[in-house]
């Protein structure tokens, strides 16, 4: 894949708080993220200078009974006349929207573009939200014939991986422990408490009720207890699954010619690659996501680097097994060793390959249309050295990579950011 015709930079970024907000709509959540993104531009930016909006959103049609969301969001943030396009690519919607914005600037058509993502999911019951999310699966084979929801899809992926490589559910639990630890340092995360914090809170509740407290010993013991961490779809348990969430993300993209007037610390787009893959029934191997492998290879080629050059990553841990497989498909670890790398601490915030410093989808939350933009916002923040208590300090950060997955891996967008100009 060739280089971009023009350099593209990120000059501002922001996210709303992730969680459940019954009194807020998608538009309200987007305003929160947009205001933070505007405030993050070093030298300020007037909204009426924005030239286009690309909005990632999966299915506001079913979550809020609202289609045609792009122009409504543009009006809500005070730029009603700019071209506003909603991009739908399941959970990869805002990753794909970001790529559209990058191409709009690289082509020369625009110099200043707003990228966003939003999803308002919690107004529906869990059952109805699950049905809405299942629309991203293969309706004919995965839903109607196999009766899969996404926990079921990733459960068979986890089962195949465990059978081939001999790992245990405890290896996956360590992903949750790590990501909750990172999420505890993220004020925007839906779950900003560690597993140890949750264990202590449960101990306190049981004690107050006069009930016996199990001898968990440590976080792994706590997660092994089916009473507090029940099975969802074997081998995946509750804490292996990302939550249903409300939230929004925003990034402001600028051509290099314009960026120098807006920021002293530009973050450049070194690569943006998008690949597709067949549905689950047509894959030969369930222990790898072919769209991730393909998009990663294209992105590395475009950036002119190898996986070793990546300083930190935000990967699509919709389920804990998805993070493990992503780290292998991205070329960080050999096949079958991603789970072992977590156990060895290699993916910790201070490890050799920090993964999901934001808390990931698992702890930060997963408002599906906003996820790709939130991943990129975390990378932008880390590369600028502004992540506060969760800032990676064990290495000199140069390149950050995001992997944003859609459906059961039918879509994947891999983006590589670089500190400074290209």
Instruction: Say which of 91, 241, 318, 412 is annotated catalytic.
Output: 91
Kindly report the number of other CB atoms within 10 A of residue 58's CB atom. 31
CB-based contact 366:151 (threshold 8 Å): no
Strand partners, 402: 314, 415
Strand partners, 288: none
CB environment 194-218: b (16+ within 10 A), e (fewer): bbeebbeebeeeeeeeeeeebebee
CB-based contact 376:8 (threshold 8 Å): no
The burial class, CB within 10 Å (0-12 / 13-18 / 19+), for 127 is exposed
What would the two tokens of residue 94 be? 């805002």
| Known active-site residue 196 | no
Distance (Å, rounded) from C-alpha 337 to C-alpha 225?
Answer: 26
Distance (Å, rounded) from C-alpha 287 to C-alpha 285?
Answer: 6
What would the two tokens of residue 129 be? 């939200």
Kindly report the number of other CB atoms within 10 A of residue 22's CB atom. 8
Contacts of 347 (CB under 8 A, 6+ apart): 178, 327, 341, 353, 354, 355, 356
CB-based contact 291:412 (threshold 8 Å): yes
DSSP codes of every residue in 333-362: S-TT-HHHHHHTTTTSTTSSS-B-TT-HHH
Kindly report the number of other CB atoms within 10 A of residue 249's CB atom. 36
Instruction: Say which of 171, 241, 366, 412 is annotated catalytic.
Output: 366
CB-based contact 186:358 (threshold 8 Å): yes
| Known active-site residue 366 | yes
Kindly report the number of other CB atoms within 10 A of residue 258's CB atom. 17
Active-site residues: which are they?
Answer: 91, 366
């Amino acid at each position: 894949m060739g280089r971009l015709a023009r350099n593209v930079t990120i000059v501002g970024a922001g996210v709303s708080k992730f969680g459940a907000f019954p009194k807020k709509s998608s538009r309200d959540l987007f305003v929160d993220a947009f205001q933070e993104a505007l405030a993050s531009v070093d030298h300020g930016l007037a909204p009426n200078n924005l030239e286009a909006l690309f909005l990632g959103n999966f299915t506001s049609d079913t979550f809020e009974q609202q289609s045609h969301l792009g122009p409504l969001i543009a009006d809500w943030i005070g730029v009603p006349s700019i071209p506003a396009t909603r991009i739908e690519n399941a959970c990869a919607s805002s990753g794909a929207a970001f790529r559209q914005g990058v191409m709009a600037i690289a082509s020369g058509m625009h110099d200043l573009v707003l990228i966003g993502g939003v999803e308002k999911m919690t107004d529906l019951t869990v059952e109805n939200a699950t049905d809405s999310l299942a629309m991203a699966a293969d309706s004919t084979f995965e839903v109607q014939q196999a009766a899969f929801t996404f926990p079921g899809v990733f459960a068979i992926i986890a089962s195949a991986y465990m059978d081939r490589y001999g790992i245990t559910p405890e290896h996956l639990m360590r992903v949750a422990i790590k990501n909750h630890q990172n999420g505890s340092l993220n004020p925007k995360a839906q779950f900003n408490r560690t597993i140890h914090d949750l264990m202590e809170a449960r101990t306190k509740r049981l004690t107050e009720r006069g009930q016996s407290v199990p001898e968990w010993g440590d976080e792994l013991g706590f997660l092994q207890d089916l009473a507090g961490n029940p099975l969802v779809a074997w081998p995946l348990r509750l804490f292996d699954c990302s939550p249903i969430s409300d939230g929004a993300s925003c990034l402001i993209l600028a051509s290099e010619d314009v960026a120098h007037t807006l920021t002293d610390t530009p973050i450049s787009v070194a690569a943006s690659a998008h690949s597709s893959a067949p549905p689950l029934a047509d894959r030969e191997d369930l222990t790898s996501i072919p769209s991730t492998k393909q998009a990663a290879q294209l992105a590395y080629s475009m950036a002119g680097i190898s996986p070793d050059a990546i300083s930190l990553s935000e990967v699509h841990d919709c389920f804990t097994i998805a993070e493990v497989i992503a780290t292998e498909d991205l070329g960080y670890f050999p096949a079958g060793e991603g789970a072992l790398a977590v156990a060895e601490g290699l993916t910790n915030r201070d490890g050799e390959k920090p993964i999901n410093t934001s808390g990931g989808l698992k702890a930060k939350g997963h408002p599906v249309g906003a996820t790709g933009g939130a991943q990129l916002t975390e990378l932008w923040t880390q590369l600028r050295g502004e992540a506060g208590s969760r800032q990676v300090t064990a290495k000199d950060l140069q390149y950050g990579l995001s992997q944003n997955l859609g459906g059961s891996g039918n879509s994947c967008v891999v983006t590589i950011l670089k500190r400074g100009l290209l």
